[in-house]
Amino acid sequence: MQSRWRLEPGTLYDDLADRVAAGVMSRYSTSFSLATRLLGRPVRRDIRNLYAVVRVADEIVDGAATTAGESPQRVRELLDAYAQAVTSAPGRSFHTDPVLHAWAGTARRCRLDPADMEAFFTSMRSDLDPVVHDRRSLASYIHGSAEVIGLMCLDIFITHGSVTADRDWLREGASSMGSAFQKINFLRDIGADTSVLHRSYLPEPFTGDARDRLLDECSDELDVGCTRIPALPVGARAGVAAAAALYRELLDRLRATPVDDLTGPRAVRVSVPAPVKALVTAKAAGRAVLS
């Protein structure tokens, strides 16, 4: 009997790397993990690989590196080293780091634009020197931290399915949805951002009116993104629709939460209960299939 280790060299490690990346998503985001289950298998793999590599970067900036006792200077060095590793990874066919290996395969397979990942790391570096953003700096930050992620997701979708719609029109929708997701995350994390990380992403004092204006922007951006869903490849539609619906549910819950409950060291982090997530996801997927 032929040993399985002799079959298709490299595929066992490739599969391991993809599974490690999938584990990163399932551990960190139940919402995205749930939505990606609705994607076609190759699309799901590549979206998970993208998520995993940017999540590690986020842990360097905001999480594990700091709790491990690394100094601010060391965190900066770690981020620079990781940025170099990520941006150069597609040029090599093997990496001992499974997340980097998975990401490199996705970047090559989907011909992802290196400039998008470079823009992402530019925004991550800006988090190391917190500032009070104005409209211009916030737009630049959101482009690097979220819009380019939407654009890379679109490239992944198109790699695994054909589209007839104008690419720039689709890119506008991908950017808008990424922007909406990020702004909603700003609002749900505003307590920890201001009291723990000492960051202020919003360009005006946080009041009920300011929150509602930002949520109105998010709603409009979600609308723009959702109008593009029927034009996406079939294997991507249900998953994107589910993610958008989950964030719209989160938006509604943020709007219904008193501002005082969102701020301060004991702030509530608004979330969507698991049974509601399942229902919202099922309804959104059903509508996407019928569209």
Please write the tens of the pLDDT for every residue from 174-219: 999 999 999 999 999 998 888 877 788 888 889 999 999 999 999 9
- pTM assigned to the model: 0.92
Average pLDDT of the chain is: 92
pLDDT score recorded for residue 195: 80
Question: Phi and psi for 273 in degrees, rounded to 5?
Answer: -60, 150
Scanning the structure block, which residue is given the tokens 């060299």? Answer: 9
Domain ranges of the chain: 9-290
pLDDT band at 6 (very low <50, low <70, confident <90, very high): very low
CATH of domain 9-290: 1.10.600.10
Average pLDDT over residues 229-246: 96
Phi, psi dihedrals of residue 200, rounded to the nearest 5°:
-130, 105
Whole-number pLDDT of residue 198 = 78
- In order, the DSSP letters of the chain are ---GGGSSTTHHHHHHHHHHHHHHHHHH-HHHHHHHTTS-HHHHHHHHHHHHHHHHHHHHHHSHHHHTT--HHHHHHHHHHHHHHHHHGGG-S--SSHHHHHHHHHHHHHT--HHHHHHHHHHHHHTTS--B--HHHHHHHHIIIIIHHHHHHHHHHHHTS---S-HHHHHHHHHHHHHHHHHHHHHHTHHHHHHTS--B--SS---HHHHHHHHHHHHHHHHHHHHHGGGS-HHHHHHHHHHHHHHHHHHHHHHHS-HHHHSSTT-------HHHHHHHHHHHHHHHHH-
pLDDT tier for residue 3 given thresholds of 50, 70 and 90: very low
User: Tens digits of per-residue pLDDT, 42-52?
Assistant: 999 999 999 99
